[in-house]
Amino acid sequence: MPVYQATVSAPVNIACIKYWGKRDTKLILPTNSSLSVTLDQDHLRSTTTSRADASFKQDQLWLNGKVDEIKEGGRLATCISEMKRLRREFEEKNPNEPKVSRVLVPAIMHAHLLQISSFHVHISSVNNFPTAAGLASSAAGFAALVSSLAALYNLPATPSELSLISRQGSGSACRSLFGGFVAWQMGEKADGSDSYAVEVAPREHWPDIHALICVVSDTKKGTSSTSGMQRTVETSPLLQHRIKHVVPERMKAISKAILEKDFDTFARITMQDSNQFHAVALDTDPPIFYMNDVSRSIIALITEYNRASVESGGKIKAAYTYDAGPNAVIYAPKENIKEIVELIYSYFPQTEPFKDPFGLFGAAGPKGKVVDGFNAAVAKPFEAGAVKGLIHTRVGDGPRKLGAEEALLNAEGLPTVLA
Ligand SMILES: Nc1ncnc2c1ncn2[C@@H]1O[C@H](COP(=O)(O)OP(=O)(O)OP(=O)(O)O)[C@@H](O)[C@H]1O
Ligand SMILES: C[C@@](O)(CCOP(=O)(O)OP(=O)(O)O)CC(=O)O
């Protein structure tokens, strides 16, 4: 019997123009377009194996080795049933050419192959970073889920077409179907068919964009993105101004900045948009606070770092951005990352050695120092542990198909990794 199985990894993305607000909560249609940078899967990724088999009794998913219930009508169930629908349509259009990866005995396999949309699936997924800790695991996770099913079903779908489905798992997940710089066009139609992701530029266009993630200690966030943004839609007058008058202009301006590799403009818009997203969170009734004192101190440090550069005739060197939690993501050209790590170290002592994937520091590691002209009084130093860790990564590629040796399901269709 052939094994119908595929394994794919998918990246995290962090938005520069934030998605915040839905006009349709079931289809996950946003109130504004958004734009993100895809981060490198060499560092942060979700890996997912999907298998279809006539012997499976039900659809099942294991996340990091633990059963994750597929609730009827829920987001996982929607994504899986939408992918089965695409497979069914593909089978109907190709009655004689099932095109499933090389079959051994084509003559007797056809009838069998054509039915794989009716088989139940087993799915095993692993994140190589903390799940549900504000590091966009849902974005990478749903992108990997949809991509692995597309590979299993051998669908000829484009990344934009697949993004229509991952969007229904988690809005931000639609942007993880592409590498590089990605826009989610909000669309206008009620059925959501024009609300999908497109590539603004591939990573190769501007590979110099690096990211430093400052993982800020925090207990689990109080208000999820899903419920927080709905409260904002219902109560914030500022959101109406943002979606009508601010985001459309910013989408155009930041896309142009990316195409021109204009870091100064890219950074200014990214910081302004993070600030406005947190302003609409504060404008929500009751108000929502995602940043904490550590987050605000990192803003002060990056602001001062940029001021010192600009006032001595230089350019903006870094941009901060925050999602629905206290973790900072700092975007910067690669040449500035060393200074930025030193800056963070001087205010936030680290207990673990800096993982230095790009070999910036040698064996000694960062010591903690600020650049000339930096006003050290803009923030006070924190105790060790306020920033739990730093992850240095960069702009990355889109979902990757992996070989059978990376599969996360064993011969019986059960997860190879157990929690
Ligand atoms: N690899 C995965 N495969 C399938 N679903 C996943 C995967 N990883 C995460 N998820 C889903 O996403 C949920 C976590 O999403 P949540 O929004 O709470 O956290 P996050 O995405 O890590 O943080 P944030 O959205 O604030 O950046 C998990 O409970 C699970 O339902
Ligand atoms: C602040 C954000 O990270 C919000 C992301 O929201 P989600 O995509 O997690 O929300 P749901 O669609 O309800 O799953 C901004 C962004 O990624 O654009």
Q: Distance between CA atoms of 3 and 112, rounded to whole angstroms?
A: 12
Decide if pLDDT at 46 tops 50: yes
In degrees and rounded to multiples of 5, residue 32 shows phi and psi of -150, 155
Pocket flag, ligand 2, residue 28 (CB < 6 Å) = yes
pLDDT of residue 131: 85
pLDDT of residue 102: 39
Query: Which residue's alpha carbon is at the smallest distance from atom 13 of ligand 1?
Result: 138
pLDDT digits (tens, 9 = 90+) for 91-130: 888 876 554 443 444 444 544 455 899 999 999 999 999 8
How far, in Å, is the centroid of ligand 2 from the Cα of 376?
A: 34
How far, in Å, is the centroid of ligand 1 from the Cα of 316?
A: 33
Atom of ligand 2 nearest to the CA of 30: 12
How far, in Å, is the centroid of ligand 1 from the Cα of 408?
A: 18
Token representation of residue 61:
């998913």
pLDDT of residue 130: 85
Q: Which ligand is nearest to the CA of 273?
A: 2
Q: Which residues line ligand 1 (CB under 6 A)?
A: 46, 63, 125, 127, 131-138, 141, 144-145, 225, 323-325
How far, in Å, is the centroid of ligand 1 from the Cα of 138?
A: 3
CB of 214 closer than 8 Å to CB of 390: yes
Atom of ligand 2 nearest to the CA of 172: 8
- Which of 71, 138, 329 for mutating ligand 1's site (highest number of atoms within 8 Å of CB)? 138
Mean pLDDT of 342-352: 97
Mean pLDDT of 398-411: 97
Task: Supply the angle between the helices 159-166 and 75-93 in degrees, to the nearest 10.
Answer: 140
Pocket flag, ligand 2, residue 13 (CB < 6 Å) = no
pLDDT of residue 108: 45
Please give the residue that has the higher pLDDT: either 15 or 95. 15
Query: What are 123's strand-pairing partners?
Result: 50, 61
pLDDT of residue 148: 98
pLDDT of residue 111: 46
Bridge pairing between strands 45-53 and 13-17: unpaired
Query: Which residue's alpha carbon is at the smallest distance from atom 9 of ligand 1?
Result: 138
Mean pLDDT of 140-169: 97
Decide if pLDDT at 220 tops 70: no
CB of 141 closer than 8 Å to CB of 105: no
pLDDT of residue 37: 98
Atom of ligand 2 nearest to the CA of 34: 18
pLDDT digits (tens, 9 = 90+) for 370-379: 999 999 999 9
- Which of 34, 225, 232, 243 for mutating ligand 2's site (highest number of atoms within 8 Å of CB)? 225
Give the ipTM of the model, two decimals please: 0.97
Query: Which residue's alpha carbon is at the smallest distance from atom 30 of ligand 1?
Result: 138
Q: Which ligand is nearest to the CA of 323?
A: 2
pLDDT of residue 103: 41
Q: Which ligand is nearest to the CA of 172?
A: 2
Decide if pLDDT at 221 tops 80: no
- Which of 16, 18, 19 for mutating ligand 2's site (highest number of atoms within 8 Å of CB)? 19
Atom of ligand 1 nearest to the CA of 139: 21
Domains and CATH numbers, the chain: 4-202+401-406 (3.30.230.10), 209-394 (3.30.70.890)
CB of 164 closer than 8 Å to CB of 192: yes
pLDDT of residue 96: 62
Pocket flag, ligand 2, residue 21 (CB < 6 Å) = no
Spacing of C-alpha 217 from chain mean position: 20
